[in-house]
Homo-oligomer: A and B are copies of this chain.
Amino acid sequence: MSENHQLFGTEDLRGKLSEHGYKMTPQRKEILQIFVDHSDYHHMSAEDVYNILRENKSEIGLATVYRSLDLLCELGMLVHVDFGDGCARYELNSADPKVHHHHHLICLKCKKVIEFEEDLLEMLEAYIEKKSGFQILNHEVKFFGYCSDCRAESEEEIF
């Protein structure tokens, strides 16, 4: 973790919440704190977070966990990741583009998710295979954003 690229901490939470018209609550703080405390153990599901809360003797309900995770994504403090394992996962968002653009190597057999920090999209599969020993059978590239139609539509709304 480099010094000049801070992860979001719970300190920023109150400000971001009120910026967006939301209230600060102990539940929201506690849930974000779990991601800060477990920043080594990436990509937690709602159930993972809920289990950690129960270990911590916290009474926060599962519905609140789901609602808070959504909210923290909306605030940009968490990012949603999908490994196709049937549940939504979340990571702390980072200002560091190296971390932000990391790749996930998902093993079809043991379901292990290996992080591969390499911000060159042009990296060849062969190179990955050589470096990690990961045999690539299939890859999937997704780009999320706004299509030209929707961009045009947005501009109409503004002007």
Contacts and interface: CB of A to CB of B under 8 A. Distances in A.
A112 interface: yes
11 contacts: A103-B141, A103-B143, A106-B144, A108-B146, A121-B125, A125-B143, A128-B143, A135-B146, A136-B144, A136-B145, A138-B143
Given A82-B82, A122-B121, A140-B82, A133 B145 contact: no
Interface of A: 81-84, 101, 103-110, 112, 114, 120-125, 128, 132-151, 153
A134 B140 contact: no
Contacts of A139: 101, 121, 141-144
Contacts of A83: 142
Contacts of A146: 107-109, 134-135, 137
B121 A124 contact: yes
Contacts of A143: 103-106, 125, 128, 134, 136, 138-140
Contact of A145 (B122, B138, B150, B151): B138
A103 B121 CA distance: 13
A122 B123 CA distance: 7
Contacts of A150: 107, 109-110
